[in-house]
Structure 1
Amino acid sequence: MTCDQLAYRLQQLRPELSACDIARLCVLILTTCPELCQLESDEGLDKAWRNASFRLDAASDQHAAVADELASMCDDGPIQFSPDQLWTLLRAVKVQSQILELYTDQPALA
């Protein structure tokens, strides 16, 4: 199955999705689905879509939370880093590596 075919099928199954959402889901589904023949059935495609959507939503939520933490930390101005701020920075790196791993299906180094 090609990305174009997958995008067409997703558009048919989920017409409410934007073109950008479909493109993201195509990349996620194609990188995480070990057997592309599973995507030929509507049930298999729906399962893959739900899995990819869940992973994308979870990564987006984590990213937003860490971005808020970093923004509030930056509002404090230049100060010595506290242990809590260092943990926030480490979480930010971890979240970014998880997002990278989500799109590449390769283990990240963080």
Structure 2
Amino acid sequence: MTCHQLAQRLLELQPSLSPTDVARLTLMILNQSTDPADLDDDDTLIKAWKNASFRLESTSDQHAAVAEELEALCGDGPIEFSPDQLWVLMRAIKVQSQILELYTDQPALV
């Protein structure tokens, strides 16, 4: 199954998906699939779609939370970093690496 074919299938199953959501889900589903031909089966496609949607939603939530923490951290000004601020930065790096892994299906940090 090609990217275009998968995008069409997703739109058939859920016509209300935005073009951006279709593109994201298509990329994630194909990256996670060992054999794209398996996605011809509706049950397999729906399972892969739900998995990709869950991963995307959870990563988006994490990203929003960390972005809020970083925004608060930036408001502190250029002072010495406290241990709590360093933990915020480390969490931000970890979340960004998870987002990269989500889209590329490759470990971002080793």
Tell me which residue corresponds to 2:29: 29
TM-score by length of 1: 0.96
Amino acid at match of 2:51: N
Tell me which residue corresponds to 1:95: 95
| Unaligned stretches of 5+ residues in structure 1 | none
Amino acid at match of 1:34: T
Shift, 1:36, TM fit: 1.6
CA distance in 2, matches of 1:96, 1:46: 27
Instruction: Name the Cα RMSD after superposition.
Output: 0.9
Percentage identity across aligned positions? 65
Tell me which residue corresponds to 1:107: 107
Deviating 4+ runs (over 6 angstroms)? none
Tell me which residue corresponds to 1:44: 44
CA distance in 2, matches of 1:68, 1:88: 10
Shift, 1:35, TM fit: 2.2
CA distance in 2, matches of 1:48, 1:109: 25
CA distance in 2, matches of 1:86, 1:62: 17
TM-score by length of 2: 0.96
CA distance in 2, matches of 1:78, 1:103: 33
